[in-house]
Structure 1
Amino acid sequence: MPRTILAGLAGGMTMNVTMLLTFRLLGFGWNGGGILLSSPVQSPKLIAIWTQIEPLPLVVANPAPIIIGMMLFGIGHAFIYRSVSAAWPTGIFQRAVRFAGLLFFMTFLFWEFFTPFNQLGEPLPLVALELLFWATIAFAEAFVIASVCERKVSGV
């Protein structure tokens, strides 16, 4: 159990850092102006939600609860990994790829389809870019969780 929690905390931290590098740095920009806000094809509704309509999303106005939430999701993901990984071929990379696929298809693909595409009218090219970001996030988190969970402990 302690290793699973540690794997989840490491995975959650990885998810936060990777989201910072993809969505914040490239997508929204440090001070605005990222491709997701400056693209001429972007949905005005999405831009307004992220920059104008009060209250702004917590991740913009007060990111601490979101960062903590992602850490908790990481712990949950590690427990899911522990429950399903035994059925997969051995090896960190092989298991990480499978787990990243699980996270991507069951969570991130659904999120992008249902919210940015469906509710916010985001155009498909930008949804595709966000899916690339989510795939990167899913693989980074899955690789860290698999690495911690599968690491062999030296006998003492």
Structure 2
Amino acid sequence: MRYNRWVTAGIAGSIGIFVANLVSQVLFFQLGEEILFHSDQQSDKLIAVMTQMEPLPVMETDPGVYMTISLFIGALHGGVFAYIRDSLPENTIKSGLAYGGILWVLMALYFEFHAPFNMFGEPLPLLGLELFFWVIVVSVEGVLISTLYDRFGNPGLIY
């Protein structure tokens, strides 16, 4: 059964970013916590912004608001995916990874350069670790969006 492609794209994007947020929590704040937030290598300014300076990040102080906004952004990611789907590889997994690559270049790369490196003085090796984590996060998001969209909203795809 096929559903409206735009509704499907929005739902797929919201699910994709929800799961990507969970993955990022594990990578950045569990696996990477010691080196990213408790290391002598890390910028004191970045640590202070994340853990001490008021107001603390919204994801800490009001996770409901943070997640609501994330779901909206995810729906937009899904809409962009639907818009460019025909330009991506035909294979669902490859298209999801390609879209994850697009997200990485347009979102993660600029964010890491602009905020942690530029504004908070994060050292390059830690920036590199975060960019690696972002590859995983956006790949998960892209593959989920692609899988859900192709399964439920892409009228041109035949199974």
**Global fold match (TM > 0.5):** yes
For the structure 1 residues 152 and 68, does the alpha-carbon distance in structure 2 shift closer, same or farther, using more than 3 Å as the test?
A: closer
SS of residue in 2 equivalent to 1:107: helix
Q: Distance in 1 between matches of 2:138 and 2:70?
A: 12
1:15 pairs with 2:16 = no
Contact 1:9 1:74 in 2 (8 A): yes
Q: Deviation at 1:89?
A: 2.2
Contact 2:9 2:78 in 1 (8 A): yes
1:115 pairs with 2:120 = no
Other-structure match for 2:10: 5
Other-structure match for 2:29: 24
Q: Distance in 1 between matches of 2:152 and 2:107?
A: 29
Q: How many residues align?
A: 148
SS of residue in 1 equivalent to 2:32: helix
SS of residue in 2 equivalent to 1:40: coil
TM-score by length of 1: 0.89
Q: Which stretches in structure 1 are left out of the alignment for 5+ residues?
A: 29-33
1:44 pairs with 2:44 = yes
Percentage of matched positions with identical amino acids: 32
Other-structure match for 2:157: none
Q: Distance in 1 between matches of 2:27 and 2:145?
A: 20
Return the letter of the residue paired with 2:60. Answer: V
Q: Deviation at 1:124?
A: 0.5
- CA deviations over 1:2-42 (Å, ceiling 9, x no partner): 211221221121122112211222233xxxxx321111111
Other-structure match for 1:31: none
Other-structure match for 1:131: 131
Q: RCO higher in 1 or 2 (8 Å CA, sep ≥ 6)?
A: 2
Other-structure match for 1:101: 101
Return the letter of the residue paired with 1:73. Answer: I
For the structure 1 residues 87 and 61, does the alpha-carbon distance in structure 2 shift closer, same or farther, using more than 3 Å as the test?
A: same
Return the letter of the residue paired with 1:26. Answer: L
Q: Distance in 2 between matches of 1:117 and 1:152?
A: 40
Any residues of structure 2 matched to 1:48-59 within 5 Å, and which?
A: 48-59=48-59
Moved over 3 A (4+): none
- CA deviations over 1:91-148 (Å, ceiling 9, x no partner): 1111011101110000110000011001100001110111111111100000000000
